[in-house]
Structure 1
Amino acid sequence: MTRRPLSLALLVLALAPPARADEASDRARIVGNWKLVGVVYEDAAGQRRPVLGQHPTGYQIATAGGRWLALVTAEGRPVPQTDVERAQALRTMISYTGRWRVEGDRVVTRVEAAWNQAWVGTDQARIFRFEGDLLHLESPPQPHPNLLGQVVRIIVTWRRDE
């Protein structure tokens, strides 16, 4: 009887994906204030384009307590004068907040509030990579609400701002 639970536990451990030994270290490096450097969208053909302009603005805050807040706005956004322009302005920004965690090479945010209601209640996962004081976040290919559902991979670069 004692062999079976032990065998099952060993099988589970053997099949589990390897955990990154440095998840706590990665989490500590992610915590802080970040200023936006750039955003590119990559389509299925691998074509990259700066949909939000060459110089979008934005900030991301990741707290040690687990709160994530990101706000990105396109370069040169006009002040909307009409309801149509206000509706169009939503396509020139991305904003969401929620609880975040590190899972291997991904930072995952369980979205609690967002500029687009479709993201609320979802997990937004991004592969992360550090390069000096830069943090690169890459989404998996997914339909993007600002591009009428076109499938893209979003690559966002942030610089530490503390």
Structure 2
Amino acid sequence: MAHERQTCTGAQLGTWKLQSFTTEDLATGQKTDLFGARPSGYLSYGPDGRMYAILVNEGRRAPSDLVPTDAERVDLYSGFSSYAGTYSIEGDRVSHRIDASWNQSWTGTTQVRQFRIDGKYLYIKTLPDRNPLTGKESTSVLVWVKVE
């Protein structure tokens, strides 16, 4: 059976570098930078309909050896989020269909986000949901800048 290849076009195509990642707790209104004031990471949207995202905590420390201790492994995992899959766009929403993820509970799910592009900036806002890092109902706003 032949598989039809999807072709995507639009301003989202390419690689984006993370500038900020702010989360708001919906119960309290408190805003926090869960990955620090200057997190790092990349988001890529390909013309083939594939995407990936990787986010890394500011100040993430390397383990003392190639193989991390259990405590170092927990610290590394806590400061990292990543997933890859396919995407589609409808209006101001982008749907990420997750094929592989840092958190196996996301694998096989679809994560829907609001998004807008303003010049060289991409703004992505998560819909209200339970945050996979804090467990609290929240939304997050991620600001990305186009890599040129």
Structure 2 length normalisation: TM-score? 0.87
Secondary structure of residue in 1 paired with 2:60: coil
Distance 1:74 1:42 in 2: 17
Question: Percent identity over the alignment?
Answer: 37
Q: Displacement of 1:142 after TM fit?
A: 1.2
1:75 aligns with 2:41: no
Q: Which residue of 2 aligns with 1:91?
A: 78
1:49 to 14, 18, 32: 32
Matched to 1:154, the amino acid is S
Distance 1:31 1:140 in 2: 22
1:105 aligns with 2:88: no
Q: Which residue of 2 aligns with 1:28?
A: 10
1:122-162 residue CA offsets vs partner (Å, 9 max, x unmatched): 10111001222100000011112222x12211111100002
Would you tell me which structure has more strand in proportion to its own residues?
2
Dislocated runs of 4+, deviation >3 Å = none
Matched to 1:161, the amino acid is V
The question of whether the paired residues in 2 share the 8 Å contact of 1:40 and 1:156 is answered with yes
Structure 2 residue ranges without an equivalent (≥5): 1-7
Structure 1 residue ranges without an equivalent (≥5): 1-24
Would you tell me which structure has more helix in proportion to its own residues?
1
Structure with the bigger RCO (C-alpha within 8 Å, sep 6+) is: 2
1:117 to 98, 104, 114: 104
Q: Which residue of 2 aligns with 1:66?
A: 49
Distance 2:132 2:32 in 1: 16
Distance 2:119 2:32 in 1: 24
Distance 1:35 1:42 in 2: 21
Matched to 1:35, the amino acid is K
Equivalent residues, number: 137
Matched to 1:63, the amino acid is G
